[in-house]
Structure 1
Amino acid sequence: MHALVDGHGMPLVVLIGPGQGGDNPMGIPLLENLRVQRACGRPRTRPDELRTDKAYSSRQVRDYLRKRRITATIPEPADRIANRKRKGSRGGRPPAFDTVSYKGRNVVERRFCDFKHAIVYRAGVVIADVVAWLKII
């Protein structure tokens, strides 16, 4: 199960993928399914910022975010840092990373704890989402 939540931990997109599947291949489909209704006009489909863990730190995801002008707050994995340093000046510069902004990612982790308590099937996830929304009403 993969989810995209807002800054308050409210689920915006939930996708069920293969159990053995990695996080990275689901990053772009999550963003492409984002639709947040506004008071008037078309729904919003582009977040201002995306905070994720190292699993989403691929060239494909970073290029997608850059193309859509979405600020990425994704730590760089240790192996990529080592490869970049090994290449020297040819390795390029490291991607920007805002440590203060990244501290807000714990909201996502707390929401995943709620999801883990739900049944792993889609119905359980949908019920957990409805309960989360009802708590704020």
Structure 2
Amino acid sequence: MRERFWERFPLAELTAEEWEALCDGCGQCCLLKFQDDDSGELAVLDLACELLDIGSCRCSDYANRFDRVPDCTRLTPERVDEFRWLPYSCAYRRVAEGRKLARWHPLLSGDSRRMHRKGVSVRGFAVSSRGVPEEAYEDHIIAVIPIDD
């Protein structure tokens, strides 16, 4: 990877390896989200995708995630601006907005577990969506985000 690539190149010019390395591993993009058709608001749940390993905050089948979970969100440099629900701490969002990476980011700290200790990841509060009936989803809403069109 190129040295400090996140500061030197726009997202669209990153290699696939650099794009993947930019992920801080917080797991927040793997939380279930539902958009209200009338208001446009996005409800974020504390339920994680069935493939998310909540301990490591990594996908347990990353290579096959789109086949196994058709609703899995494909984050790409071209689409990052569409995902206004990405947390303020997200490296993809930060770089897209021209901000610096957080000091705890693994590319800066060299520590892939630091974001867990800082409380940025979903570790410790998310639960797997596996086995949770849809009628119980409303009980798992942790945030409602207004989304402007």
Q: Same fold (TM over 0.5)?
A: no
Q: More relative contact order in 1 or in 2 (CA 8 Å, sep 6+)?
A: 2
Is the helix fraction higher in 1 or 2? 1
State TM-score, norm by structure 1: 0.31
